[in-house]
Structure 1
């Protein structure tokens, strides 16, 4: 796979200079770039690395003196990470999955496989499944009965798609994800200790034996278009209604969505985020790594929560949150400053106490 500087610049909608016919077969960091690589130096901080590598061409910041940097050609990226998105798409060949259905795949006769789909070895496709055109299913994936998967999907090794799950177009699923497992829902015949504590905020009349009765999950999972699910993430089916994810939302690795959760459009849920059952997440919400969301609450549109934040009550639209429990980010910063001052404050109080005692 190779592209000329001209082809790359045109695809990215970027300006280019120098030998536009120079061929590029890979992308690289400046210091380790070979002669056929496009070095990525979209910030002046990375310019010195160009002298250590062998790249003849580079993607540079606006206004860079490419000739002084010893290059034959350059592409100028006004927004480096956006250019990286297009560039990485051009050079990503994707997984090798042979066209058609592999002879070692097990596909139920009632399943419908769209035109141009590719299904790898050891894939299991259940009764009544519909797989859209040009979908690519890698090895060891299982798709349970009644599932619907849209066009141009990419489902990678070992993913599990449960019964009656509905997924839109251009879905990307990383290895090991599980979509449509039963929700974690149990009840006790009598009022449980958890219910009592929720009512009293910590007080318990007595501690007694209790046993758990399973509530089965009759719903499934509905996922919109252009959604991505990271490796080893888990999305539970709903109890009665479906667990839902809106168009354009991206889940990182090890994200967990409990039963009945609703996530809006174009959200970004980073690694190890956990959202408890029946919580609702608005549109364009960003949750950093290890964020936790309590059950049955609402997180409004455009909320941003920093890593490790624990959201335990409803969060209004547009709020920026940090901490445990979550508070406004500026409040959290002030609280942390106050904590750092506590030892000095304690020493001052002790000195004052001693002075008062001595004066008596």
Structure 2
């Protein structure tokens, strides 16, 4: 199904010029665009690609001459990347999940399924579970006993929702995401080597064999509205209280939220980042790829953690952190600059040592 240029302009809040009835069926980079594609040429650098493709319409940078570029229509937007979010939402058909309940789905008689829900093949829904209206659940997903999922949720293939997990509206989980597995919570009969090292900062009076005993997870997971989880991302249940994820949080693939974490609203985590047990974060935390927060920390609002950064202590609101161990970004950059200067400084010191040695020999 296509959209007229006028309809796309209205959806994006864009200014449209030219053939407003032209029908668009997809989006493409300028050089690969076909006649029914909207070319994405929001910057002059991409303008040359229009001549290589066959697009009749494009999103262009402000001030571009669409006629001279050989186009029949053009769209102009104040913030191109933001407009891209609206355009892709408009053109994305979403996964194919047939309406109704597939015959192979196994649904407990006590489960409640909201109106308009679509449940795919081999889905399993446990005792007392509640599924909100218009939820879409793809093949092989499982929802355990007494879990509650809000309206307009989308669970893709192989998603696992554990017992008593509570999830708000418009939840999205990519394939393989797991919410509500047990956390890493183990204890030793005697004081463990880890406890000793933590208190002594590395000194150990005795090294002895030890074994681990599980502390069972009695809590669950509570997730707000408009939360999205990437593929194979995992959120562990709490030990006694629930692990909490605030509304609006977006987690990339392969992220991990450990037991008892409390995460604020509108946080963003890139792939392979993680938050260790019992850490609390403020709102709008941003974590770059492969970054991590140690356990039992307090992270303020509006903190930005650079990629591969490892945070080992509390962070005040508004800080940008970088490095391992994490420090203020400007301090880390200055330290890196100084590190690169070390070879030159060593050479200078060596020259000075030679000069001093010669001076001492001459006296």
TM-score by length of 2: 0.98
Find the counterpart in structure 1 of residue 31 from structure 2: 31
Find the counterpart in structure 1 of residue 251 from structure 2: 251
Q: Structure 2 matches for 1:161-180, cutoff 5 A?
A: 161-180=161-180
Please report how far the alpha carbon of residue 354 of structure 1 lies from its aligned counterpart in structure 2 after TM superposition.
Answer: 1.6
Distance in 2 (CA, whole Å) between partners of 1:45 and 1:316 is 40
Deviation per residue, 1:140-198 (Å, 9 max, x gap): 10100010000000000001100000000000000001100001000011111110111
Whether 2:148 is the aligned partner of 1:144: answer no
Q: Structure 2 matches for 1:78-117, cutoff 5 A?
A: 78-117=78-117
Distance in 1 (CA, whole Å) between partners of 2:354 and 2:61 is 62
2:40 partner SS: strand
Find the counterpart in structure 2 of residue 302 from structure 1: 302
Find the counterpart in structure 1 of residue 219 from structure 2: 219
2:341 partner SS: helix
Find the counterpart in structure 2 of residue 343 from structure 1: 343
Contact 2:13 2:77 in 1 (8 A): no
Distance in 2 (CA, whole Å) between partners of 1:81 and 1:359 is 65
Distance in 2 (CA, whole Å) between partners of 1:174 and 1:324 is 31
Please report how far the alpha carbon of residue 97 of structure 1 lies from its aligned counterpart in structure 2 after TM superposition.
Answer: 0.4
Deviation per residue, 1:83-131 (Å, 9 max, x gap): 1011001101100101111001111111000000000001010000000
RMSD of aligned alpha carbons: 0.6
2:20 partner SS: coil
Q: Structure 2 matches for 1:308-347, cutoff 5 A?
A: 308-347=308-347
Find the counterpart in structure 1 of residue 76 from structure 2: 76
TM-score by length of 1: 0.99
Whether 2:288 is the aligned partner of 1:288: answer yes
Structure 2: which 5+ runs fail to align? none
Distance in 2 (CA, whole Å) between partners of 1:222 and 1:72 is 51
Find the counterpart in structure 1 of residue 199 from structure 2: 199
Deviation per residue, 1:265-295 (Å, 9 max, x gap): 0010111001100001110110100111000
Please report how far the alpha carbon of residue 76 of structure 1 lies from its aligned counterpart in structure 2 after TM superposition.
Answer: 0.4
Find the counterpart in structure 2 of residue 279 from structure 1: 279
Distance in 2 (CA, whole Å) between partners of 1:125 and 1:187 is 33
Structure 1: which 5+ runs fail to align? none
2:244 partner SS: strand
Runs of 4+ in 1 over 6 A off after TM superposition: none
